[in-house]
């Protein structure tokens, strides 16, 4: 079931068929165990359930309480949802006695409902409380963080996570602005950034990079990605697939390097008398890199920056 058939959610799952196809859920693997690390609004999960056999099993994760509410409407006995980050994947699987899974899918970033709901504070396009937490039941909001953090750390976050060349000016303006009144709304922050950024990128709001940076920091997205990739790899069965969709260069760089580190092995000196069977073997095989088609981007402009990478656990790799 494609999420486009649920109009009230207003969410289009990016690379829906391509991602689920990449998991190769067929034949004996249709009875396997799969993980959807980012349920969102359930597009990938529902498509996976369509492919699973009667004995198959799908465990989905999401930090967003609204996503969990959507997931709980799925009554399929093969499906289970966990309110938490995919960074806890390994621990959750161990707690259920699951040693290996046949595939892991991670669709990173934020969903359209999160962006479009002004109350969540992710977007500068509509005024709302400056929250930005994916899990609204815990943690510090963006407004709380900006109220107390040092100018130096604000600058570092905006520079490192937003790749913003005006990070110094923006951080200085934020600290000056909060001295006048608390920065509690998305519009306030966007206006502060707009006044601090003198040169605008064509077709991009000056607040784009700053909002991305603060969101990533508040939700610890890159740190959780590192933990999640390693945990998923350790639980992946031989010939199991890892499919990751990222939406900005920082995420994709982490995914690319992780997969490459598992696919590449140091080559010994050819002059040494080492038997072929004793040579170090790669732990993963890189299968593909895919971007949305022009037709998908035209139908869903938010898909334009998506990159999907697929790798497979090598059958001879040590577990």
- pLDDT band at residue 4, thresholds of 50, 70 and 90? very low
More confident of the two residues 115 and 75: 75
Residues forming CATH 3.40.50.150 domain(s) in the chain: 3-107+221-313
Token output for 25 = 């859920």
**Interval 43-71 mean pLDDT:** 96
**Interval 156-161 mean pLDDT:** 97
Task: Give the whole-number percent of the chain exceeding pLDDT 70.
Answer: 91
**Interval 168-184 mean pLDDT:** 97
Residues forming CATH 1.10.150.170 domain(s) in the chain: 122-219
278 is in an annotated binding site: no
Please report the pLDDT score of residue 201 as a whole number.
76
Average pLDDT across the chain, whole number: 90
Please report the pLDDT score of residue 109 as a whole number.
80
32 is in an annotated binding site: no
**Cα 204 to Cα 67, 112, 121, 165, 169, distances in angstroms:** 29, 18, 19, 14, 18
More confident of the two residues 144 and 203: 144
Whole-number Å distance between alpha carbons of 15 and 96: 30
- Asked whether the predicted pLDDT for residue 146 surpasses 90, the reply is yes
Whole-number Å distance between alpha carbons of 248 and 191: 24
3-state SS assignment for residue 201:
coil
**Interval 8-16 mean pLDDT:** 71
Please report the pLDDT score of residue 165 as a whole number.
94
Q: Which CATH architecture has domain 122-219?
A: Orthogonal Bundle (1.10)
319 is in an annotated binding site: no
- Asked whether the predicted pLDDT for residue 318 surpasses 80, the reply is no
- Asked whether the predicted pLDDT for residue 245 surpasses 50, the reply is yes
pLDDT tens for 86-119 read 999 999 999 999 999 999 999 998 877 788 788 8
- CB-CB contact of 173 with 198 (8 Å): no
Please report the pLDDT score of residue 11 as a whole number.
62
Token output for 165 = 């060349």
- Asked whether the predicted pLDDT for residue 6 surpasses 50, the reply is no
Instruction: Please tell me the least confidently modeled range out of 17-21, 87-91, 95-99, 301-305.
Output: 301-305
Positive or negative: CA dihedral 297, 303, 306, 312: negative
**Interval 278-296 mean pLDDT:** 89
Whole-number Å distance between alpha carbons of 161 and 159: 6
42 is in an annotated binding site: yes
- Asked whether the predicted pLDDT for residue 7 surpasses 50, the reply is no
3-state SS assignment for residue 287:
strand
152 is in an annotated binding site: no
More confident of the two residues 2 and 279: 279
- Asked whether the predicted pLDDT for residue 291 surpasses 70, the reply is yes
Please report the pLDDT score of residue 115 as a whole number.
81
Please report the pLDDT score of residue 276 as a whole number.
56
83 is in an annotated binding site: no
**Interval 126-153 mean pLDDT:** 95
44 is in an annotated binding site: yes
Q: Which CATH architecture has domain 3-107+221-313?
A: 3-Layer(aba) Sandwich (3.40)
- Which pTM does this prediction carry? 0.89
- Asked whether the predicted pLDDT for residue 194 surpasses 90, the reply is yes
């Amino acid at each position: 079931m494609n999420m486009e058939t649920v109009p009230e959610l207003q969410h289009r799952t990016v690379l829906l068929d391509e991602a689920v196809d990449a998991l190769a859920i067929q034949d004996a693997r249709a009875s396997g165990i799969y993980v959807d690390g980012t349920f969102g609004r359930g597009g990938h999960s529902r498509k996976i359930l369509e492919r699973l056999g009667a004995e198959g099993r799908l465990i989905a994760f999401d930090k967003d309480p609204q996503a969990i509410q959507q997931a709980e409407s799925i009554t399929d006995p093969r499906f289970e949802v966990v309110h938490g980050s995919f960074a806890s994947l390994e621990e959750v699987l161990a707690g259920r006695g699951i040693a290996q899974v046949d595939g892991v899918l991670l669709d990173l970033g934020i969903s359209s409902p999160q962006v479009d709901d002004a109350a969540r504070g992710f977007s500068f396009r509509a005024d709302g409380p400056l929250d930005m937490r994916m899990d609204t039941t815990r943690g510090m909001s963006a407004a709380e963080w900006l109220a107390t953090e040092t100018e130096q750390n604000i600058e570092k976050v905006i520079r490192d996570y937003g790749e913003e060349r005006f990070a110094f000016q923006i951080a200085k303006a934020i600290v000056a602005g909060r001295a006048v009144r608390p920065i509690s709304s998305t519009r306030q922050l966007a206006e502060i950034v707009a006044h601090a950024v003198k040169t605008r990128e064509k077709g991009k709001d000056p607040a784009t990079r700053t909002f991305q940076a603060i969101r990533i920091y508040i939700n610890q997205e890159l740190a959780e990605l590192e933990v999640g990739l390693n945990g998923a790899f350790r639980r992946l069965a031989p010939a199991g697939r890892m499919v990751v969709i990222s939406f900005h260069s920082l995420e994709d760089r982490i995914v690319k390097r992780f997969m490459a580190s598992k696919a590449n092995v140091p080559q010994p000196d050819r002059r040494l008398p080492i038997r072929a069977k004793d040579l170090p073997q790669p732990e993963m095989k890189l299968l593909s890199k895919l971007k949305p088609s022009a037709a998908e981007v035209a139908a869903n402009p938010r898909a334009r920056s998506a990159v999907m990478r697929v790798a497979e656990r090598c059958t001879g790799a040590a577990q």
